[in-house]
Amino acid sequence: MEYIVGIVLIVIIAIIIALVLRRRLYNAIDHLERMKVDIMNRNIAAELSRMKELNLTGETLESFNKWKDRWELILTENLANVEVQLFDAEAYADRYKFNSSREELNKIEEKINEIDIELESIITQLNDLLETEEASRKGVEELRPAINDMAENLIENEELYGRGVLRFKIEFEELTNGLITYDDLVENGEYHQAKEVVEQVNKELKRVQVELEEYPELYKKCKFDLPKELNELTKGIREMKSSGYPVEHLGFEEKIKTYQKDLLTSVRTMEKRDLESSKEIIPEIQTSIEVMYDSLEKEVEGRELLEVQLPIFRESLNKFAENFTETQAEVDILREAYHFATDDLEKIKKIERSFEELQTQRLSLSKQFEDKSEVLSKLGAKLEGGLNQLEQLEIDHQVFSEHIQMLRKDEIEARDHLQKLRQELIIATRQLRTNNLPGVPDFIWKRINDAEAENEKVVVELSKTPLDIKMIQNALANAETSVNVAKEEIKVIIEQAYLTERVIQYANRYRSSNNNLARELAESEKSFRDSEYELALETAAAAIESVEPGALKKIEEQQQYS
């Protein structure tokens, strides 16, 4: 029994599933039916009727017939076939042949989509054709008056265009012919070609408009203004030549002739078709004219500079020659008494070479100025350079002169300084002897002897011929160091001896009551008598500090005060 119930349930479920699947197929069939009806209801014929506003000839007529025939074919054949296919799909569904029904429905959907896309393409092409016609027509409506306005403006201002009037009239005629071509193409229904013609005419029109505006100024500059400026420049150059300026070396006249030819060629080119060559050559010539005027002004300035400064340059060199000759003579004399360093001798040779170069340069400048073999601006620049070099040479000469004058001064100062060192050493030695010390340590006498020896080295250097100031100054520096060391150590010994005496005197108050202190003081006194003042001071200081801390500091302060 249970098996029977299970089988019944399975059958029922199968039936339900089959019914559901068939219902889905019916729904799909209905959807495709509606798509078919939607296509049939599209008023393509009405859309195509919009083309009747155009000239139905040529390309336009061909497109109209093609689209019309295609629409009729879709209605009478393609959609009829779709209707048959829908019927077959529904029959398959009725008989539960679901796979066959789905395959048929897929074919129908694909076909309907193809038809839909094709119709959209037809409408798009139709709209594009209508828009092309409208845009071209409006463009032509703007082009015709624009061409007429340009032609009228040309007639009113013919004097500004010279022979270029004929060129622009030909271009206007070409633009008008373009519009005539447009009319012919429209008449023959060739709207796409007509659009291309309008675009080309519009492009040419804009070019002609720009050139029509630019032409008068460019023509005036190339035909009148720049030639006039070049003629005036040529006149100025000839006047300068007659006044003695060597301007032929600049090569301006040949350059001006070239520019005049270029301008003439540019005018001929403008009158025929092209303005670009004029746009390039005008700024080039204008810049070159400015450069040439600047160069001529520099020639005038150069001549003024040469006329004024060349004599000054000559006089300055002559004066320098006198001063330098004196310096050379003085160096010859001083070299007998003093040693000159290699650097010093090289400096005077360098000054001499630089002076000779300036003399040669001055003679060359004078010759070139007289025989006019060089442009004056270059000569002026060379002269300014020479004057600057002479100024620096005078400074170098002054520095060198002051340097050699210092030789005698340095010798005198060295002798005075040596005498001062000797006197300081004598005073220090006298202090050593007058302080009644029990004795003088051997190292002090050594310091004094070393200082005297260093002083003698200075004497030796000062006795040489020729004198070497640097060697003297080095020896003098060593002597000064040695004397200062001796003086300082003498001062220290005297202070140590005096302080030792003060400490012993101060500590004597404790000697009778403190045997250790008495013993240490006795050792200090022995060291003092043996001239060991530093050891004596250390022993005495240690003794008094052991009894009275801080006593040494108090004694030192009293000694400083006294």
The domain segmentation of the chain, as residue ranges, is 2-132, 297-404, 435-561
Mean pLDDT, range 212-232, rounded to an integer: 89
Most confident by average pLDDT, 61-70, 328-337, 339-348: 339-348
What span, in angstroms and rounded, lies between the C-alpha atoms of 270 and 167? 9
Instruction: Judge whether residue 538 has pLDDT over 80.
Output: yes
**Which pLDDT band, with edges at 50, 70 and 90, does 261 fall under?**
very high
What percent of the chain lies above the pLDDT cut of 90? 3
CA distance 191 to 199: 12
Q: How confident is the model at residue 336 (pLDDT cuts 50, 70, 90)?
A: low
* pLDDT for position 535: 87
Altogether, the residues listed in the chain come to a count of 562
Q: How confident is the model at residue 56 (pLDDT cuts 50, 70, 90)?
A: low
- Say if pTM beats, i.e. exceeds, 0.75: no
Query: How much is the pLDDT for 10?
Result: 66
Q: Which spans in 42-163 are helix H?
A: 44-49, 58-73, 79-94, 98-156
Give how far Cα 75 sits from Cα of 42, 61, 216, Å: 11, 21, 66
| Nearest CA among 250, 356, 375 for reference residue 306 | 375
Q: What is the pLDDT of residue 333?
A: 64
Nearest C-alpha neighbor of 130 from the set 201, 43, 60, 44 = 60
CB 267 within 8 A of CB 219: yes
Measured CA to CA, the distance from residue 355 to residue 400 in angstroms comes to: 15
CA pair distance 488, 25, nearest whole angstrom: 129
Mean pLDDT estimate for the chain: 80
Tell me, what's the pLDDT at 290? 92
Residue 550's identity, in one-letter code, is G
Which residues have C-beta within 8 Å of that of residue 248, sequence separation ≥ 6? 241
DSSP, collapsed to helix, strand or coil, labels residue 110 as helix
- Stronger pLDDT, 306 or 70, i.e. the higher one: 306
Give the pLDDT confidence of 402-430 residue by residue, as tens digits: 777 776 677 677 778 878 888 888 888 88
List the one residue out of 421, 549, 556 whose CA is nearest residue 495: 556
List pLDDT tens digits, range 154-207.
888 888 888 888 888 888 888 888 888 877 877 777 878 878 888 888 888 888
The model's pLDDT over 458-517, given as tens digits with 9 standing for 90+, comes to 777 777 777 676 887 788 888 888 888 888 888 888 888 888 888 888 888 888 888 888
* Rg value, the chain, Cα: 61
Mapped onto helix, strand or coil, the DSSP state of residue 230 is helix
Q: What's the CA gap between 154 and 164, in Å, rounded? A: 10
More confident residue, 140 or 357: 357
Fill in the amino acid letter for 353. Answer: R
> For residue 467, what are its two tokens?
């004198």
Average pLDDT on 363-383 reads: 83
**pLDDT tens digits, residue range 28-43?**
666 777 776 777 767 6
Percent of the chain with pLDDT over 70: 82
Residue type, 31: H
Helix ranges (H only) for 338-468 are 342-371, 376-434, 442-463
**Residue 142 has what pLDDT?**
80
Phi, psi of 415 (to 5 degrees): -65, -40
Cα–Cα distance for residue pair 492/498, rounded to 1 Å = 10
